[in-house]
Amino acid sequence: MRQSVVSLFEPDTLLPSQFFAHFRGRGSATRGEKRLMLAVLEDAVDCYQKFAFEREPRGRDLFAEAEEWLFSSDNSWVFAYENICHTLELNADYLRRGLQEWRQRARVQGGRPASSAEPGVNTEASQIAV
């Protein structure tokens, strides 16, 4: 009984592909602009996770660019992170916290993001809390 009560207060965990699939469903009335915004957001999250522990300069640059965009409070242009989240009805701060927590967990696990795991192995580090 206690275990089931505790699990009520744990965050749901989804793979990024599961999270973004919600917006691509056939029943979704997402227009072209929103689909483009979703693609921009998905690419930033993918770069953040894929290159978080990269040692090569190109990967480090891609991570830094994604991190700067994801954690920026600038909303002066249409494709700013906060504007995209607002348009897609996502909580920008919640997503940021999930990414930070993912990175901390991955760092504790030896800095091995999902891309360096064995193929077909679903590691907790490849998931974001939603």
Average pLDDT along the chain: 78
pLDDT in single tens digits along all 130 residues of the chain: 445 444 445 566 666 666 666 666 544 555 788 889 999 999 999 999 999 999 999 999 999 999 999 999 999 999 999 999 999 999 999 999 999 999 999 999 886 654 444 333 333 434 444 3
What pLDDT score does 116 carry? 42
Specify the pLDDT at position 67: 97
Name residue, tokens 């744990």.
10
pLDDT for residue 109: 87
How many Å apart are CA 90 and CA 50, to the nearest integer?
22
Q: What is the pLDDT of residue 110?
A: 80
Boundaries of every domain in the chain: 30-129
Alpha-carbon torsion angle 38, 41, 43, 47, nearest 10: -160
